Amino acid sequence: MRKLFIAGNWKMNLTLAKSVDLATGLKQNFPAATSAQVALIPAFVHLAAVRQIIQDTPMALGAQDVYFEKPGAFTGEVSTEMLKELGVKYVLVGHSERRHILGETDPLLNKKLRAAINAGLTAILCVGETIEQRKANRTEVVVGEQLTRDLAQVPNEALDAGHLVIAYEPVWAIGTGLTATPAQAQEVHAFIRGELRRLFGSDRADRIQIQYGGSAKKANAAELLAQPDIDGLLVGGASLIVEEFIAMVRAAKEVKK
């Protein structure tokens, strides 16, 4: 049985004071005895402050990106060592904003993903199709290629140690208010599960959590989480609101599969 995993991607939002307020609000309202796995993913510059607040809670810390090289002359980049020193456990790789706005390619994402998991971090690999690709019936081709390319040469030991999570995030649903229906999301999640089986075998594939992301909010969380292959949510906008994010954590606690 896979644990449900709710992660909040704060993106390039919030001042330091507002990040502290949000983390504090989440801590104060965090439901007791939740079985869900939860992570907060603030901007790099707010990681240390958020860590201070959540270190004695069940919430873990994530980063929005990482560079694949060892420490050295890479101005502006952040290494796996730096993240680990700050208590970071998860790192997003291939968020659609990094693919489509910042031009990150599959070969680069593969290097980042392998560097993260080889360093003992857990990579959350984001995959998903644009609206044009969906309309052209290319969703499975696009997502299949992203998985095959981004997951090349991932060692089995890293999978056995639970260092890989996949997030299916249809680009057309991110930040748009449009959500994939539970059936649409489940269809792609089942496809992703099949691809993971092809790449890593059934036992390993069946242990990998696949989150859904794309305008997830408290109003649709329970229905999405009830789908057999949806193992959590990667939440953008709604993760900035205490009541919304906590409601999603509660939904994960209550959902029956």
Residue whose pair of structure tokens reads 């929005």 in the numeric block: 64
Q: How far apart are CA 149 and CA 77, in angstroms?
A: 23
- With contacts defined by CB under 6 A, how many residues of the chain interact with ligand PEP? 13
Tell me which DSSP letter residue 238 carries.
Answer: G
Q: Closest residue to ligand PEP, Cβ-based?
A: 236
| 182 vs 237, beta carbon nearer ligand PEP | 237
> Which of positions 6-35 make contact with ligand PEP (CB under 6 A)?
9
| 169 vs 229, beta carbon nearer ligand PEP | 169
| 19 vs 215, beta carbon nearer ligand PEP | 215
User: Rounded to an integer, what is the distance from CA 143 to the centroid of its chain?
Assistant: 16
> Which of positions 203-222 make contact with ligand PEP (CB under 6 A)?
213-216
Q: How far apart are CA 30 and CA 156, in angstroms?
A: 34
> Which of positions 142-171 make contact with ligand PEP (CB under 6 A)?
169
Which listed residue (62, 113, 236, 251) binds ligand PEP by CB under 6 A? 236
Q: What is the DSSP string of 182-234?
A: HHHHHHHHHHHHHHHHHHH-HHHHHHSEEEEESS--HHHHHHHHTSTT--EEE
| 119 vs 248, beta carbon nearer ligand PEP | 248
148, two tokens: 């095959």
175 binds ligand PEP (CB under 6 A): yes
- Active site amino acids: 95, 169
233, two tokens: 């949510």
Name the residues that contact ligand PEP, by CB under 6 A.
Answer: 9, 169, 174-175, 213-216, 234-238
